[in-house]
Amino acid sequence: MSNPRHFLTMDELTYDEQRHVLALAKKVKRDPAAYRSALTGKTLGMIFQKKSTRTRVSFEVGMYQLGGHALFLSGNDIQIGRGETIADTSRVLSRYVDLLMARVYGHDDVEELARYSSVPVINGLSDLHHPCQVLADLQTIEERFGRLEGLHLAYVGDGNNMAHSLLLGCARAGMSVSVATARGYECNPEIVTRAKAHAAAYGQVVRTVYSPAEAVEGADAVYTDVWASMGQEEEQEKRVKAFQGFEVNAALMARANENAIFLHCLPAHRGEEVSAEVCDGPQSAIFDEAENRLHAQKALMLFVMGAA
């Protein structure tokens, strides 16, 4: 493939392409048997610098269900970034596999993989973006409300990779987004600016505030993430203090719309960023959301491979 179609951020899908992938995810979920030979004979190389539950299992199972094979490549087992440059690793793996997915620390790493790869590269997670998760989030929201356009998502917590991808993906889908972070933990300003431009094109708004209550007011979906992501464990105590008052609990959810849903990319720390009564309550859609990682990523792999 001379010009591979990479997927590193939510910004890389136009509105029509995002709609296509989500529609395909719906079809794949409804009738998985119809796609079980779509990628027969194809191999997915999965590079993991970070540990994973949902990303590894959903991609591996998804590739198998599409008729292909997935190869797990731990950062401890291959030479990437140690005895071999990322560029050389990318060039070599491109000769062996048909598709690459990487879950890395630095976003620069996945960008470099894509730069030198002759096959599509999917960002399974980086410190700046988590786009595959947002495809599943959008699928979940649309399942619950029957649409995306005109809805309001509120994100409460650290201005991290999850917040960045939600800003870009939801705004591109024609949704309004409100993000509440603690001071000193704001989102990347360039990403916020891009998201505002996307939202404005559909008559929607993006707001960044420091008050969870203000962000959640009138929201259709309330989203949070852990306060200390993988690799930030030494900051846990500091972050717990910074995010006091940011727990998504029943009182905060009461400020959202009556039929609002709660979302979380998992793993969740009950008693920190979310209370158990919300995480395990009737408004929670977290396990539908987790399941949709499988369907959305199958659709994504079909899309970047030009198979559907």
Residue 29 CA to residue 202 CA, distance in Å, equals 28
- At 124-167, the pLDDT tens digits run 999 999 999 999 999 999 999 999 999 999 999 999 999 999 99
Give the rounded percent of residues in the chain with a pLDDT score beyond 70: 97
Q: For residue 182, give the nearest of 164, 144, 208 by alpha carbon.
A: 208
The residue type found at 164 is H
Domains along the chain? 10-130+293-304 (3.40.50.1370), 133-289 (3.40.50.1370)
- At 46-89, the pLDDT tens digits run 999 988 999 999 999 999 999 999 999 987 777 665 678 999 99
The residue type found at 238 is K
Q: For residue 266, give the nearest of 154, 155, 148, 133 by alpha carbon.
A: 133
What's the Cα-to-Cα distance from 213 to each of 24, 219, 249, rounded to whole Å?
36, 10, 11
Work out the average pLDDT over 174-193: 98
Number of neighbours of residue 277 by Cβ within 10 angstroms: 14
pLDDT band at 1 (very low <50, low <70, confident <90, very high): very low
Burial of 187 (0-12, 13-18, 19+ CB in 10 A): buried
Query: Which sequence positions are flagged as catalytic?
Result: 103, 130, 133, 225, 265, 293
- At 201-244, the pLDDT tens digits run 999 999 999 999 999 999 999 999 999 876 777 888 999 999 99
- Average pLDDT of the residues of the chain: 96
Residue 220 CA to residue 243 CA, distance in Å, equals 23
Where is 155: in which H helix or E strand?
strand 152-156
pLDDT band at 306 (very low <50, low <70, confident <90, very high): very high
